[in-house]
Amino acid sequence: MLKLGVNIDHVATLREARYRGGAHGEPDPVTAAQICEAAGAHGITIHLREDRRHIQDRDVWKIREAVRTRLNFEMANTPEIVAIALKLKPEIVCLVPERRQEVTTEGGLDVAGNEFAITETRRRLNDAGIEVSLFIAPDQAQIAAAARTGSQFIELHTGAFAEHFADPIARAAELARLVAGAQQARSLGLRVNAGHGLNYVNLPTLHRVPDLEELNIGHSILSRAITTGLATAVKDMLALMAA
């Protein structure tokens, strides 16, 4: 069964727009996580960025305590955030690239260029009982490097697929890259998740990608929640995934 991890970062983005620097504020990411789980989500994803632009340290610990399914902790491979992850003990960590000037994560991790550092962090996290995923583009060299690090998962970056979805030729090419990437990853013993830019329109086409275990989706679900409510938005996405 294809699983859904709901990324609730932008619940905190909305809160920080009004209450940045305060100890309280609305909407509450913890409440959002609980609503998503009650609606059937299989996991909750949060990204503690170095600049703390949305999720704050206090959110991390409260969400860890509240989540009853599976916590996916997205993070850059930096000493400060690695230390937090080792104390937090989420079920899984997803290593992602970060740039201060980007609005959201724009590309995949350069595993091939940082293989030693990523392997060392993977080892430390695994030794603490935490599974490791690497957020990468569907690129042969990056997938091969991900396997060499010993990571358990990759998360295929679906941003290019989403960006080119309106163009049938480009969409087919990006879909073929994702299919080939998933097949390569599985052949190397990696488990495969996917995410970035997925929504209620493009998701059904993604069913053609084999061996996917979990989709991590945030912005589209939270956007729909403004008009339908969060529980309904999660249930609508689950229905599409079950088709």
Q: So which residues are the catalytic ones?
A: 47, 74, 196
First-to-last CA distance in the chain?
11
Q: DSSP code of 107?
A: S
Please give the structure tokens belonging to residue 173: 């090419």
Q: Which run of H or of E encompasses 3?
A: strand 3-7
- C-alpha 224/C-alpha 211 separation (Å) is 27
Give the residue from 4, 219, 191, 20 showing the smallest Cα distance to 103: 219
Give the residue from 24, 27, 23 showing the smallest Cα distance to 13: 27
Please give the structure tokens belonging to residue 177: 């890259």
| DSSP assignments along 192-239, one per residue | EEEESS--TTTHHHHTTSTTEEEEEE-HHHHHHHHHH-HHHHHHHHHH
- C-alpha 153/C-alpha 43 separation (Å) is 15
3-state secondary structure at position 28: coil
Long-range contacts of 102-108 (CB under 8 A, 24+ apart): 104/219, 105/47, 105/74, 105/135, 105/196, 106/159, 107/137, 107/157, 107/159, 108/135, 108/136, 108/137, 108/139, 108/142, 108/157
